[in-house]
A and B are shown apart, each in its own frame.
Chain A
Amino acid sequence: MSQTIVQQLDVQGLACPMPIAKAAIAIRSMQPGDRLEVLATDPGSVPDFTAWCAKTGNDLLEQTEDAGVFRFLILKG
């Protein structure tokens, strides 16, 4: 399994549901085991990404916040 981030997705400034829609498109072209890093500013993206990962079989490895920017590290399942 690759330990590096394969793709980064910057959805800062975008409102719900754009972050999820863009993540769904981005992860589609990745391989199982690849990691996707998402940067978002919409506070609603925290519950959304948690639920989205649970539904889609991807793992939410990390979720952090720094100065209003939410970072999600997702492992494609």
Chain B
Amino acid sequence: MSGVPARIVVLGGGVGGTLVANLLDKRLGKDAAITVVDPTGMHDYQPGYLYLALNGANAHWLSRDERTLLRGGVDLAIEEAVRIHPDAGTVQLARGGSLAWDYLVIATGARLVYDEIPGLAEGSHGFYSLTEAERLRAALRTFSGGKIVIGVAGIPYKCPPAPVEFAMLLEEHLRDRGIRDRSEVVLASPLNRAFTIESASKIVQPIMRERGIQLETFFNVESVDPSAGIVSSLEGDKLEYDLLVLVPPHRGQDVISDSNLGDAGGWIPTNRSTLNAGGYERVFALGDATDLPISKSGSTAHFEAPVIASRIASLILGTAPAENYGGRVMCFLETGNGKATVLRFDYEHPPVPPEPSRGWHMAKWIFNRAYWETVPQGRLPDRAPGTMPKEVVR
């Protein structure tokens, strides 16, 4: 060390960016000057939108001031980054000026692009933003029966289990309100099963059958006709609906594409082990922003963050970077009726989800409430990245 702190800029104050910044500050102290750049300065707990739409959470619980989640040694710039210059080591800001960095972490997440599907914005509801979830909650309050179609309007999308979870929880919600017998619930899947992961589909499909949730397979949404109440697929099928709930298409942020750092979808080509972005030694990416063929989820970012923090710390301290990301992800999957299962997997090990139980539902409930005090600060006990729970290793 020369005594001059290394300048680390983290783009994005979601779970990944916040955790990397806090871990680096904890590890490096005065050896690093860390700035998180975020356009809103607010940190949202996105998994909560699902519950909000079904009346199980309020908006106040789902958002916090990012400043309150960052350690005292981390600066927060409420700014929008508009260009990344990896060779010059700078980030240009929307309001003028730029930030110089020695190490850059890109945690810019995904954006929702409603205009890619004709009729989507006008004809569909959703639960992938606070605004959408509140609108869906209002629509469900006045829903008195009819056909609800749930599906995804583009791939990849965040939190792959969410549409299945929504279908299960919605079915329970309709029963609780006494309007289940007047309602149809249809889950339209892009594949020939309810969920991308086959082992999880084997668990959820019998439950769906038991609860009368219909499965429409190979339904890749092409367009929505709001006036006719019809959603059409690329495969040529049509489904009528009274209430349509679609996950909108996702893309990487404009700053990635505008900086020529993304692929066609705006996702950053990222090394699956080191998490280096675009082949640059001092640039890293994590979370939804990457092009990695794994779930886009907070859990992924959570397990990637310690790897990036460790590798940057090693580079600054002059030791060999040793930690690699093994593709670890852990997601809860609510199955309704107070039960849930859990999906734990990595690049080499597909998940072996346990039978849904009240215990896993309780674990998710506790996680939802403990999130603000544990995950962003790096307080959640963790195994070394890349290792798996014993029962999953084969």
> Which residues of A are interface residues toward B (Cβ below 8 A)?
13-18, 20-21, 24-25, 28, 44, 48, 51-52, 55-56
CB distance B155 to A17 under 8 Å? yes
Q: Which residues of B contact A21 (CB under 8 A)?
A: 155, 190, 220
In the complex, residue of chain B having the shortest beta-carbon distance to the beta carbon of A18: B155
12 contacts between A and B (CB under 8 A): A17-B191, A20-B191, A21-B190, A24-B218, A24-B235, A25-B234, A28-B222, A55-B192, A55-B218, A55-B235, A56-B218, A56-B235
Q: Mark out the residues of chain B between 308 and 325 whose CB falls within 8 Å of any chain A CB in the assembled complex.
A: none
CB of B368 within 8 Å of the partner chain: no
CB distance A52 to B293 under 8 Å? no
In the complex, residue of chain A having the shortest beta-carbon distance to the beta carbon of B217: A55
Shortest C-beta distance, A51 to chain B (Å), equals 4
Q: Which residues of B contact A24 (CB under 8 A)?
A: 190, 218, 220, 233-235
Q: How far is the CA of A55 from the CA of B237 in the complex (A)?
A: 10
Return the contact of A18 from the options B156, B192, B233 (Cβ within 8 A). B156
Q: Which residues of A contact B156 (CB under 8 A)?
A: 18
CB distance B234 to A48 under 8 Å? no
> Which residues of B are interface residues toward A (Cβ below 8 A)?
155-156, 190-192, 196, 198, 217-218, 220, 222, 233-236, 293-294
Shortest C-beta distance, B269 to chain A (Å), equals 11
> What is the predominant secondary structure among interface residues of chain A facing chain B?
helix
Q: Which residues of A contact B236 (CB under 8 A)?
A: 56
Q: How far is the CA of A3 from the CA of B163 in the complex (A)?
A: 41
Q: Which residues of A contact B222 (CB under 8 A)?
A: 28
Shortest C-beta distance, A35 to chain B (Å), equals 18
CB distance B192 to A52 under 8 Å? yes
In the complex, residue of chain B having the shortest beta-carbon distance to the beta carbon of A44: B198
Q: Which residues of A contact B191 (CB under 8 A)?
A: 16-17, 20, 48
Q: Which residues of B contact A15 (CB under 8 A)?
A: 196, 293-294
Q: How far is the CA of A28 from the CA of B156 in the complex (A)?
A: 19
Return the contact of A20 from the options B198, B218, B294 (Cβ within 8 A). B218
Other A-B pairs beyond A17-B155, A20-B191, A24-B233, 6, CB < 8 Å: A15-B294, A16-B196, A18-B293, A21-B220, A24-B220, A25-B234
Q: Which residues of B contact A25 (CB under 8 A)?
A: 220, 234
Q: How far is the CA of A64 from the CA of B234 in the complex (A)?
A: 26
Top 5 A-B pairs ranked by shortest CB distance?
A: A15-B293, A24-B234, A51-B192, A21-B155, A24-B220
CB distance B190 to A20 under 8 Å? yes
Q: Which residues of A contact B192 (CB under 8 A)?
A: 48, 51-52, 55
Q: How far is the CA of A56 from the CA of B293 in the complex (A)?
A: 26
Q: Given the interface contacts A24-B235, A25-B234, A44-B198, does A17 sit within 8 Å of B217 by beta carbon?
A: no
Return the contact of A28 from the options B196, B198, B218, B234 (Cβ within 8 A). B234
Q: Which residues of B contact A14 (CB under 8 A)?
A: 293
Shortest C-beta distance, B120 to chain A (Å), equals 16
Q: Which residues of B contact A44 (CB under 8 A)?
A: 198
Shortest C-beta distance, B188 to chain A (Å), equals 13
Q: Which residues of B contact A20 (CB under 8 A)?
A: 190-191, 218, 220
Q: How far is the CA of A25 from the CA of B236 in the complex (A)?
A: 11
Q: Which residues of A contact B190 (CB under 8 A)?
A: 17, 20-21, 24
